[in-house]
Amino acid sequence: MNNQAIATTKNPTPVIDLVLDGLNSENSRRAYEKALGDFLSWYQREPNSGLTKATIQQYKTVLQNSGVAPSTINQRLSAIRKLAQEAADNQFIEQSIASSITKIRGVKSHGVRSGNWLTKDQAQELLDIPDYRQLKGLRDRAILAVFLGAGLRRSEVAKLSFDHIQQREGRWAFIDLIGKGNRIRTIPIPSWVKTSIDEWTKAAGIKAPGLIFRPIHKGGFINGYGMTSQAIQDVVKQYSKHLGYELSAHDLRRTFAKLAHKGGAGLDQIQLSLGHASIKTTERYLGISQDLTDAPCDHLGLRLNG
C-alpha cells in the first residue's frame, strides 16, 4: 500500500487500527480513534499531495482557523504523528516522510482552559434530580454521587465493583482502584456516597461479587452485568440537561476537585484522589497559579530575633 492508499481507502479502519493497537489506555484509544476519524474525513475531502508534512501543516491551520482549542489540536497532532510512524513501519509511506511529520510542533496554549464545573448549589441540585422512588433513579443517583463524591473517571465508575468498597481507618473508601496509566490508588468517600450505593444495590437485589452498576431495561428490571463508560456518560448528560447545562462525566470529576479545593482540601490529597501523576497536573486541572499577595511564606509564623 502506498501513500495515496491511506487517503483513498473507503474503509480507513485498518489504518486507524495500526495506531489503536499500540495503546493500552481505553481513554487514549477512544480519543485517538475520534481524532484520526476526523482527520481522515477531512483528508479524503480535500485535494492534497498525500500524507506529507505540508498536508498535516494545512490541517493544523484549518483547525486553528476553526477555533479549535490548542489542547484538542495537540491531541489530534499526536494521533497523526503516531499514524505516520505506524504507516512507515508497515511500509505504507517512506520513513523520511514520517519523520518530517513527527517534527511538526503543537500549538502553544496561552493560559489555562478551566472547562466546566458546578457550584456547590448546582451540584446539590443535580444530585437531587433522580427519582429515588424508581430503580433507575436510585442507580443514577448513586452514579452521580460517585462522580461528585469521589472524582472518578467514567471508565472507573463503569468498572467499580463490590471488592473496591472497603473500610480503612474507620471510614469507607474505594480500595485498589486501577486508573489511568495503570496507577493504583485508594479514594476515601463520604458517607452519603456509600449510602447511595447501598440503597441502589439493595433495591436492585445485587450482591457481591460483581460490578456495582448494571443496565436497566425499560420495563424496570436489571438487564445485564455491567455498563459501558458511554452508558455512564449518557446518565450524566441526561440529568445535566434538566439543569439546562451540557455537561460531561469529566465535568463532574472536575467539580469534585473544585469543591474539595474550595473547601480547604490540600492539593496533594486532591492529586491522590484524582490519580494524577504529578501535582502540576492537578494545579493545571484546577486552574491554580501562584498567589503573590497571600503566599505560603506569609503563614510560617517565623521571624528574626535581635
pLDDT of residue 197: 95
pLDDT of residue 191: 92
pLDDT of residue 105: 87
Give the cell for residue 170. 474507620
Q: Are 212 and 201 in contact (CB under 8 A)?
A: yes
- Judge residue 72's burial from the number of C-beta atoms within 10 Å of its C-beta, 0-12 exposed, 13-18 middle, 19 or more buried: middle
Give the cell for residue 11. 474503509
Give the cell for residue 181. 496509566
Residue partners of 294: CB distance under 8 A and separation at least 6: none
- Compare 180 and 101 and report the one with higher pLDDT: 101
Please spell the DSSP secondary structure of 41-95, one letter per residue. Answer: HHHHHS--SSSSHHHHHHHHHHHHHTT--HHHHHHHHHHHHHHHHHHHHTTSS-H
pLDDT of residue 159: 93
- pTM score of the predicted model: 0.61
- Compare 26 and 121 and report the one with higher pLDDT: 121
pLDDT in tens, 66-85: 888 777 888 889 889 888 88
Can you list the domains of the chain with their CATH numbers? 3-102 (1.10.150.130), 120-286 (1.10.443.10)
pLDDT in tens, 171-204: 899 998 888 878 888 888 999 999 999 999 999 9
Largest CA distance in the chain: 82
pLDDT of residue 1: 41
* pLDDT band at residue 286 under the 50/70/90 scheme: confident
* CA–CA separation, 256 and 123 (whole Å): 9
Q: Which of 27-31, 127-131, 148-152, 289-293 has the least mean pLDDT? A: 289-293
Tell me the β-bridge partners of 177: 185
pLDDT of residue 27: 66
Average pLDDT over residues 141-151: 94
161 SS3 class: strand
Sign of the dihedral defined by the CA atoms of residues 160, 157, 136, 166, in that order = positive
Asked whether residue 113 carries a pLDDT value surpassing 50, the answer given is no
Report the chain's mean pLDDT, rounded to a whole number: 83
pLDDT of residue 236: 93
Give the cell for residue 258. 473544585
Residue partners of 299: CB distance under 8 A and separation at least 6: none
Number of H helices, E strands in the chain: 14, 3
* CA–CA separation, 293 and 297 (whole Å): 10
Q: Are 124 and 33 in contact (CB under 8 A)?
A: no
Give the cell for residue 182. 495503570
pLDDT in tens, 239-263: 888 777 778 898 998 889 888 888 8
Q: Phi and psi dihedrals of 12, rounded to 5?
A: -75, 0
* pLDDT band at residue 215 under the 50/70/90 scheme: very high
* Strand spans (E) along the chain: 165-168, 171-178, 184-188
Give the cell for residue 163. 471488592
